[in-house]
Every structure is written in C-alpha cells, then in structure tokens.
A and B are shown apart, each in its own frame.
Chain A
Amino acid sequence: MSQLEIRSVSHWFGGLQALRDVTFSTSDEILGLIGPNGAGKTTLFNVISGFIVPTRGEVLLNGKAIHRLRADQTIRLGLARTFQIVKPFATLTVEENVLAGLGTPYYPKAEALYKIYRTRENLEKIEQMLEKVHLSEYRFSPAAKLPIGLQRRLEIARALATHPKVLLLDEPAAGLVAQEAEELADLIRDLHSQGIHIILIEHNMRFAMNLCQRIVVLAQGEIIAEGVPAEIQNNEKVINAYLGQE
C-alpha cells in the first residue's frame, strides 16, 4: 500500500515558473501524467524523486515528507524511476546494469566496501528479472549496444531490481513500435498487479488512455484536469491545451 501526496508544489527555474501550485494524491493505481511539451511533467517527476527540491510545497509518501530528500535517499523509501532520455550504464553489461539496482540497500553502508556483488544468489535474481522484461538473451551485451526500446526495458529492469513500491516511468513508450508498446503495457499491468504503484508520463495518448486508470493533465505547470481516461478525452480544457487554443 503506498500513497503519494503532492501538496501545493511550485517550482521556479530562475524567472520561469515550471510548476504552479500542483496538488493531487494517488495510491496504488496506474496514474498517467500527460500534458503538452514544457508542461512541467518531468520537473514534477524530478521533484518527487528527489532530483529537485521544490521552491514551495511538499511531497508526502505514506504521510512522510520526502521533498527535501536526495534522489539516493528517496529510492530507499521505495520510490524508483526511469528517465525520459534513457540513462543506461553504457559501459556495463545488461546483467551488471540490473545488478547495480540490487545494491540499493548496500550503497550507504560501509559494507559496500568489502561485500562482493556478484554472488550466485544475486545472479539468480537477475536471471528472473531479465526474463520478466524479456532481456535474457542480451544478458552479457554492453548496454550501449542495445537498441533504444531495449534500453528502456533495461531501465525498467534496473529500477525493479531496487524493489520499488512506487515506480515513476518517464515516457516509457517513447521510440517504441506498436508491438513493443503493447508488450510494455502488459509488463506495466503485470507489475501493477504485483502491488507496484505506477505513475507514468506519456506522450503516446493511445498508450496512456488504454493503460492508465486515472490521468492528471498538466499544462504550463498547472493541473488543468484530473479523472478517468474517458473524462479526460472529452475535456475541453485538455483538448484546447493540446491544440493550443485559448
């Protein structure tokens, strides 16, 4: 059970206001975060995951304020994320990338300095995770050599290795062909059924509408609509925001 609350979050980059008084809460669902380019979606993800401390407002995970924590601290509360521009560890193999995600509990401790990571137990865990995301056959390939679609899946596998309660996916379907996107949607539903709370940013409307149970729409840093996909699709404000009308 996880509940994430965003309370009156505002953020400025110098003179530019990227988020305006954003407030919503979400628990144990597949929530979509959509909006035109520059709406502040990724900024909001950066705030939630600890990469940005918001200028104002707070973020609570299960009642605990997390907006002042760094990224390497929020992950230990079970809040994992992927990136819009994929960031695989290029020089490491697929296996090592996912192994890196298993280390989350070790990194802040001194035992990281002497505990070996490549144990049989860990390698077995990796095998299962790679199977789950259909990457087994690439296990020993350098991450840099994978095509973008597989790199996105690798990033999800790496995030899953941290055993998240909440998973933030930043445009997971970007650059995927229809078949791949469908496989990804199945994977996300599967993860959700296993009790992972999913929040995703998506530009691919069909993908978001089919997959998400609820959608929050941002435009120019503000929430302009919130509701189930059917409501959002017919919401005039949303249509205007996307078509650029006043």
Chain B
Amino acid sequence: MSSGYLLTILIFTAMYISLALSLNILTGFAGQVSLGHAAFLGIGAYTSAILTARYEYPFWLAFLAAIIITGIIGTFLGLPSLRVRHDFLVLATMGINFVVVSIFKYVDFFGGAMGLVNIPAPTLFGITFRGGVPYLLLTAGYAAFTLLICWYLSKTWSGLAFQTIRNDEDAAASLGVNPARYKIYAFGISAALAGGVGSLYAHFLGSVFPDNFVFVESIGIMSMVIFGGIGTLRGPIIGAILLRLIPEWLRFIQDYRFTFYGALLVLMMLFQPMGLLGNESWLWRQLTRLFRATSKVKEEVQG
C-alpha cells in the first residue's frame, strides 16, 4: 500500500469521523433519526465549490460560508421534524436527501450531472494544502474541532435538553424544554458541522458530483454512528474508523461495502443495539469492569 493511498484513506476516515459525530448530535443526543445526512455534506461541498471555483473567493471564507449556509438550510430542512415523529421523520429526511441530490443534478447553477470541477486546493496563511499530510492535519483538526463541540454541547443545558426530548418530549416540555426549538437547534448544529466536512471534501477531491451525496451515503454515515455506539462521543469515532478501515483491510469486500454495512447493521440491531461501545454494550461493560479492576489493584498496591 503506497503512503499516498494510506493518507487518502486516513483523510477520508477523519472526514467521516466528523460526519458521524455531527449526525450523532441530531440522532444520538436529540433522538431525531435522520437518513438524509449526506444532503448536508453535499450542501457544504457545493457551497464551497461554487464560491471558490466559480466566484474565486478564498478558501477560508468559502469554508465558513459552507458551515453557515448549511447550518441555515439544515435549520429549515429540520422544520418537518416539528410535525412528524419517529418513522415518519426518517421518511421525511430520506425525502430531503433525494430532493437535494435532484436539485444538484437538474439545476444548471449546480453544474448538473457533470458536477463542479476545478475546485482549488485550500490555501490558509500562505500554505496550500494539496493532499497528503497537510490535508490530513486539516481534516483531523476539523474532526478534533467537531469532537470538542460535541463534548462541550453535551455538558450544557441544551445538551441536557436534547437528552430529555430524546427520552420523552412531553416530559421534556413539562420541565420547560420547547421540543420544537431544540429539534431545530439539533438540525442546525448537526448540519453546520456536516457542511464544514463538505467543504473539506470538495477541496480534497477537486470536483463534486451529485452522486457523491446520495441516500446510500446517508445510510453509511448512520451505520457508523449505530455500529460504534449511538449517543456517546467514542461510538461514532470508533464506528467511522472501523467502517472506513475494515473494507480496506478486507479488500474482497470492497465491492460489497454496502452489503457488508447492511449485514453489520442487522447483526448489531439484533445482538448489540447499543453498538460496539455504547453505554450498555457488552464490550463497553467489559472494558469498564477491567478498568475498575485495574484501578482497584493500583489502589491496593499504593495503599
């Protein structure tokens, strides 16, 4: 495996960690199951691509615009969640994904099926990030930023409010949480963070096509969140790493990647619905038990 190839895999892994973490805010924290997350990735990618390739704005401005514009659009696309719950919301978010991809495909402004090409490599502080290690640092930095946001958010009153609406909207309302407001927050924040990944994605590939952001991509991102452990911070990270890397290690399943994801999802739902490292999962229980045992031994040794 060439080092360039390895770096590409790692760059994608870093981007998917951010994506999985951003979806986890919406689905894991706030309990709003969305199968349209790739649409937000696409909106960010197209925003950044159009601003830089067509209007020659600098990368950093396009990157910020991708975050903000995707956040705003995500907020509006979150409005259906105020009227529908559970499985109907899943269908609505799927619909959003199809609509967004169709707009990319059939509206000339977005380049149609031929997509947008010649997206410049990002330049920051006079340094051009053209693939390789610098780009890995950029995407890993963004993943760290996303993690920081998620971690901080989970400590705030709004983080707690998300948990309450995930558990029971009526009980949440009885404590003063307006479920509508918090769902919109979750959609907005989740979309904004995914929009940032979209920008990095577009500038890394140098071209974007509607087919990059189709529904199966959304399924892939959701698989990472569920596989790793929904609602936790570690889960989506582990999920993104494993589901990006396993198909690379086992080359023979590369062509059947989505078959593999699908089968894995079914198995997880059956045997470990909390995911590999979710709070009530088998592996996590073993790990915490082991950790407790070792710290006890340490205490005894020191005591």
Contacts and interface: CB of A to CB of B under 8 A. Distances in A.
Q: Do A and B bind each other?
A: yes
Given A89-B168, A117-B160, A100 B175 contact: yes
Interface stretch (B55-63, B72-80, B150-158): B150-158
B254 interface: no
A135 to B, nearest CB: 17
A18 interface: no
Given A83-B171, A113-B185, A76 B157 contact: no
B160 A99 contact: yes
Q: How large is the interface on B (under 10, 10 to 19, 20 to 34, 35 or more residues)?
A: 20 to 34
Interface string B251-294: 00000000000000000000000000001000000000000000
A80 interface: yes
A75 interface: yes
A117 B155 contact: yes
A83 B170 contact: yes
A47 to B, nearest CB: 14
Contacts of B170: 51, 71, 83, 87
B173 A70 contact: yes
Given A103-B157, A113-B185, A115-B156, A89 B164 contact: yes
Interface in B170-215: 170-179, 181-182, 185
Interface string A64-101: 00000011100110001101000111111000100111
Contact of B156 (A76, A88, A104, A113): A113
A80 B156 contact: no
A88 B171 CA distance: 8
B174 A71 contact: yes
A239 interface: no
Contacts of B161: 100, 103, 107, 112
A189 B142 CA distance: 55
B160 A103 contact: yes
Nearest to A87: B171
A112 B156 CA distance: 6
A71 B182 CA distance: 15
Interface of chain A, helix or strand or loop or mixed?
loop
B202 to A, nearest CB: 28
A96 B160 contact: yes
A162 B231 contact: no
Contacts of A103: 157, 160-161, 175-177
Contacts of A80: 174
A112 B259 CA distance: 42
A68 B153 CA distance: 32
B167 interface: yes
A120 interface: no
Nearest to A116: B155
A100 B156 CA distance: 11
Contacts of A114: 152, 156
B163 interface: yes
Contact of A101 (B158, B175, B178, B185): B175
A158 interface: yes
A81 B174 contact: yes
B166 interface: yes
A89 B176 contact: no
Given A112-B157, A117-B155, A104 B176 contact: yes
B173 A72 contact: yes
A206 interface: no
A10 B280 CA distance: 46
A115 B158 CA distance: 8
Contact of A107 (B168, B177, B279): B177
Contacts of A71: 170, 173-174
Interface string A147-171: 0000000000011001000000000
A108 B175 contact: no
B166 A91 contact: yes
Contacts of A76: 176
A118 B154 CA distance: 10
A115 B161 CA distance: 12
B102 to A, nearest CB: 34
Nearest to B177: A107
Contacts of B168: 87, 89
A140 interface: no
A91 B231 contact: yes
Contacts of A50: 173
Interface of B: 152-153, 155-161, 163-164, 166-168, 170-179, 181-182, 185, 231, 279
The list of the 7 closest CB pairs from A to B, nearest first, reads: A104-B176, A87-B171, A112-B157, A89-B167, A71-B173, A106-B157, A112-B158
22 contacts: A71-B174, A72-B176, A72-B179, A75-B173, A80-B174, A83-B170, A87-B168, A87-B171, A88-B171, A89-B163, A91-B163, A103-B161, A104-B176, A107-B177, A107-B178, A112-B156, A113-B158, A116-B155, A116-B156, A117-B155, A117-B157, A162-B176
